[in-house]
Amino acid sequence: MRILIGSFRFYFISFLFSRANGFLTLRRPTAYAFPVCNYSYLNLSSVSEAQAPKTARVLNFSHNIIEKITKKDLEGFDALEVLDLSYNQIKDIEPGAFESLLSLVSVNLSSNDRKLLVSGLPPHLKLLPTSKASGSLQLSKYFDKSSEAAPEFSASAEELPHSGGPSVLQNVNPRLRRSTVNLLRRAERNVTVSPTATLRPNPCGAPINGILNLSNSQLSEEELMLKLDPDLCQAQLDSILELDISHSDLEMDLLSLFVLFLPMKNVQSIDASYNKLTINILDVEAICNFPFTTLLFLNISNNPINSLDTLCLPPTIKVIDLSFTNISQIPQNFAKKMFDLENMYVQGNHFIYTVRPEITNGVSKIPPGTVHINAISFVRNQAGTPIESLPKKVKHLKMSNCSIVELPEWFADTMEELLFLDLSSNRISVLPDLPASLQHLDISNSDIKVIPPSFKSVSNLTIFNIQNNKITDVHPEYFPLTLTKCDISKNKLNMLSLTDALEKLEYLNVSGNLITRLKPASHLSALANLDSSHNLISELPDHFGKSLPTLKYFNLSGNKISFLQRGSLPASLIELDISNNAITTIVENTFGQLTSLSVLTVQGKHFFCNCDLYWFVNVYIRNPRLQINGKENLRCSFPPDRRGSLVESSNLTLLHCSLGIQMAITACVAILVVLVLTGLCWRFDGLWYVRMGWYWCMAKRKQYEKRPENKPFDAFISYSEHDATWTKENLLEKLETDGFKICYHERDFKPGHPVLGNIFYCIENSHKVLFVLSPSFVNSCWCQYELYFAEHRVLNENQDSLIMIVLEDLPPNSLPQKFSKLRKLLKRKTYLKWSPEEHKQKMFWRQLAAVLQTTNEPLVRAENGPAQDVYEME
């Protein structure tokens, strides 16, 4: 293989010297090729998941997570000859799974589950056992030992159970001890294969969707050459767009590696990181001319490159990663070689500043006992810096953790297209001159003490990170006006003035300084995120919130704030962190105005658990739209008896904290009593009685202040409209025929007078009051009024003038509660009952006429006399 590499180098250099238009073409023998499908390292859980072509003759499913083989997985593979299932997790093989594979020659089941059972083998396959040490299981087509053409297949196997076979497998002919991997690599050229000839699988790397992934494969140089052999694999090489050979422990020099890549005409990206690649020893700069036209990305990070002096790479590369490659400088010719480079990553290297001795004609004589030092770190060399050149087109440059002390003097004028620069974790003590095109600068973790006025000349800068330096003072007027994000955390600032020079600033981090007071001197309309945590701030000015009207994220944790007054916090806040301060209370006057706040982080042990904290404990902490982080760790410091207890468990009730709460409770109880009484009145018709009493008083006061001595009517008839026909045609007509003067409301009520007034008038001016009782009577509102007024007349005159006529039976349970007096009257008084029988009607009219002609007896006598023996007059 070394001879092959040498021949490649020879042809490559010969071509470059001849300056031919096309690369040298070697004579390519006819390749032995047949359908080979490689599905290794794809995390497949089943064979069918790969959807392999049914015409395949070689299938490689090694290094997956297959657990079971079924008949369905292997149906239709009539031409399959080699099947590699090694390095999986196969526990079960369905009986007869291999019977349909009549062309099958070899099956590799090595490095699967130790309890794997292989049963139901077809006649043309047998189990080839070997020693225990190999840890593999191999099925191979059976050939007669006498056959000269019997292929040499690998058959290493450990002691595994086999259905129908011996319990301990014995060693076989050593001729069968080559692995399936060797079988896949063997491919003879210009050979016609007979059915009994040795199989020669295609060794080429097969790209998937244009990506050839050979990472983590522990490749040797010879194995990589075989997978990228243009004589066998040109079709595959033409389809490769991205190549990944990272983490493969590959040992080669860069020039030899790129010679192997020459046949890949369309490759765009190569990742060769985490290997053992070295720089080529020969300097071929004069003839370094690769034919690549599409290669744009190269990652050779984490390799022992050590030097870029003899670097020979395609100039079309736009992105290169040289991180952690042990390079100590960027040589003068680097910019000329990589003139199209746009993104460059060199972090994690160690740039050495060396002293070069002056060259003189004579040989310098060193006095005896003199120590000559020719390499000292952090000392300028003649070029002034180990960064001797950089491509002018670089837009993204990452040089963090490279032991850089300063940038070269030509940097600002040369790098006119630079947009992103990362100089973090170096030992730069003075902010260097920078190109005006720069938009993102990270110079954190350095030794810078001052930001000079010239910094404003970086007129396009939007993101500036200078955290963890030694800045003691900041002048906002020195900052570029375009700045939107600035991180000055972990410095030594003791004061911060926010002026209108930062009018476009959206994010500011000043945490971890020594700031005692924030002074917004103007209206910052763009600032949305401010981190001032872990300082010495003791208070915020009351106009702070108005100065930052767009602030949404504010971190004040780790300061010494004891109280936040009204107006100190912007109403636009969405997230606020005030944890680990000296805050004693959170009041509605300040936090109630923060209507947009959704996340509040608060921790501490200095809270006064008195009534000033009532709103926070009982209202604010239960707001469903607000997420309060750390509320379960808040502790009380006052009163002394609650010191150290949880704020959330404080018994701060409204009755305890409100001065007027007792009066409010009293008023509520009084209202409740009134409501209860009102309900009782409603239940027992209290409103009706009140209304009747009011009507009675009004009628008595306005119309009947004096009771008449001579009553013009003999009787007033009270009845319901339902009984109007019987009352008019029978009762009224009969009584007036007998000579009685009856007050009848349809005829005798005075027009224009109130109805209640007419009722009262008729009752007061009648000797008797006849009540025609029926179920309709008790449902009539006016009948209730008439009965009520008649009862009051009886009480006032102390004379029983009521005559009850029962037209229809009234069950006692049918009388409402407000007719309780009627119920008593029916039990106490003698009443007349109308009967549809004619002989009883004569007695009814005779008794009624007799009652109407009698005088009214006193009420006491009527109640205590013989009337208590109730009987019916029929």
Provide the phi-psi class of 739: left if phi over 0, else alpha when psi is between -120 and 50, else beta. left
Structure-token match 């859980």, residue found: 45
pLDDT band at 871 (very low <50, low <70, confident <90, very high): very low
φ, ψ dihedrals at 181, nearest 5°: -60, -40
Average pLDDT over residues 349-365: 60
pLDDT at 747 over 60: yes
On the question of a common fold for 33-127 and 494-652, the answer reads: yes
364, pLDDT greater than 60: no
275 touches 248 (CB < 8 A): yes
Instruction: Say if residues 56 and 80 touch (Cβ distance below 8 Å).
Output: yes
**DSSP strand pairing (496-498 vs 799-800):** unpaired
Highest-confidence segment of 352-366, 581-595, 789-803: 581-595
The kind and range of the H/E element at 761 are helix 755-764
Rounded-to-integer distance, Cα 239 and Cα 871, Å: 123
Higher pLDDT, 346 or 728: 346
pLDDT interval class at 239 (50, 70, 90): very high
Take residue 411 and report the two structure tokens written for it.
């940097």
Q: How far apart are the C-alpha atoms of 295 and 281, rounded to whole Å?
A: 24
Question: DSSP 3-state assignment of 14?
Answer: helix
Confidence of residue 451 (pLDDT cuts 50, 70, 90): very high
Range of lowest pLDDT (6-10, 165-169, 428-432): 165-169
Asked if residue 708 has a cis previous peptide bond (ω within 30° of 0), the answer is no
Number of Cα atoms under 13 Å in the Cβ half of residue 25: 6
> How many other β-carbons are positioned within 10 Å of the β-carbon of residue 136?
21
Dist. CA 162–CA 283, nearest whole Å = 61
Task: For 684-730, write each residue's pLDDT tens digit.
Answer: 766 666 766 676 666 555 544 455 567 888 888 888 888 888 888 88
Q: Is 375 a residue whose pLDDT tops 70? A: no
* Percent residues over pLDDT 90 in the chain: 30
Taking the C-alpha atoms of residue 650 and residue 641, their distance in angstroms, rounded to an integer, is 12
494-652: which CATH topology?
3.80.10
Report the pLDDT averaged over residues 805-818.
72
State the pairing for strand pair 857-858/799-800.
antiparallel
> How many degrees, rounded to 5, is the angle at CA 731 between CA 728 and CA 735?
115
* Amino acid present at 205: G
First to last CA, the chain: 142
Candidates 2.60.40.10, 3.30.750.24, 3.40.50.10140, 3.40.50.150; CATH matching 715-853? 3.40.50.10140
Question: What is the pairing mode between strands 742-743 and 211-213?
Answer: unpaired
Above 70 in pLDDT, residue 140? no
* pLDDT at residue 669 greater than cutoff 50: yes
CA distance 475 to 453: 9
Residue 869 has pLDDT above 90, yes or no: no
Question: Is the previous residue joined to 161 through a cis bond, with omega within 30 degrees of 0?
Answer: no
pLDDT in tens, 317-331: 999 999 999 999 999
Tokens encoding 159: 């002691």
DSSP bridge pairs for 601: 577, 629
Measured CA to CA, the distance from residue 127 to residue 142 in angstroms comes to: 9
**Residue 681, H or E segment:** helix 661-683
Tell me what pLDDT residue 184 has.
Answer: 38
pLDDT at 468 over 80: yes
Q: Which of 644, 509, 647, 486 is CA-nearest to residue 577?
A: 509
What is residue 305's predicted lDDT score, i.e. its pLDDT? 93
DSSP 590-635: HHTT-TT--EEE---S-EE-SGGGHHHHHTGGG-TT-EEETGGG-B
Q: Render pLDDT for 39-56 as a digit per residue (tens, 0 to 9).
A: 887 889 999 888 888 888
pLDDT digits (tens, 9 = 90+) for 187-229: 333 333 333 334 456 788 889 999 999 999 888 888 898 899 8
DSSP secondary structure of 137-148: -EEEE---TT-T
Confidence band for 452, pLDDT divided at 50, 70 and 90? very high
Phi/psi-derived region of residue 19, left when phi > 0, alpha when psi is between -120 and 50, beta in every other case: left
Position 450 pLDDT exceeds 90: yes
| DSSP states of 768-786 | EEEEEESHHHHT-HHHHHH
- What's the rounded Cα separation, in Å, for the pair 616 and 610? 11
Q: What is the DSSP letter of 728?
A: I
pLDDT in tens, 542-577: 888 888 888 999 999 999 998 888 888 999 999 999
Kindly list the domain boundaries of the chain, sorted by start residue.
Answer: 33-127, 494-652, 661-685, 715-853
Q: Token pair of 87, please?
A: 């390095």
Strands (E), 27-162: 36-38, 58-60, 68-69, 82-84, 92-93, 106-108, 125-127, 138-141
Strand partners, 58: 36, 82
> Secondary structure of 32-54 in the HEC alphabet?
CCCCEEECCCCCCCCCHHHCCCC
485-536 pLDDT tens trace: 999 999 999 888 878 778 889 999 999 999 988 877 667 888 999 999 999 9
Would you state the structure tokens that stand for residue 835, as one six-digit string?
């009967």
Look at residues 498, 448, 453, 454 and name the one whose alpha carbon lies nearest to residue 468: 448
Question: In which region does residue 861 sit, left (phi positive, over 0), alpha (psi from -120 to 50) or beta (all else)?
Answer: alpha
Q: How far apart are CA 736 and CA 734, in angstroms?
A: 6
d(CA 50, CA 46): 8
H or E element that contains 233:
helix 230-238
**CATH class of residue range 33-127:** alpha beta
Tally of helices (H runs) and strands (E runs) in the chain: 22, 37
d(CA 193, CA 190): 10
pLDDT at site 576? 95
Tokens for 413?
Answer: 């004028």
Confidence at residue 195, expressed as pLDDT on a 0 to 100 scale: 38
Residue 622: what are its φ and ψ, rounded to 5°?
-105, 10
Give me the pLDDT at residue 367, please.
55
Identify residue 284 by its one-letter amino acid code.
Answer: V
pLDDT score, position 84: 87
Say if residues 759 and 782 touch (Cβ distance below 8 Å): yes
Kindly provide the residue ranges of all beta strands, DSSP E only, lying in 272-413, ordered along the sequence.
297-299, 319-321, 343-345, 396-398
Query: In the numeric block, which tokens belong to residue 451?
Result: 């930001």
Evaluate whether 26 touches 11 at the Cβ level (below 8 Å).
yes
- Comparison of pLDDT for 790 and 575, the residue scoring more: 575
**The tokens 């009024």 sit on which residue?**
785
Q: Tokens 């994010």 identify what position?
A: 507
β-partners of residue 507 are 485, 529
| Nearest to 792, CA basis, from 774, 814, 773, 769 | 769
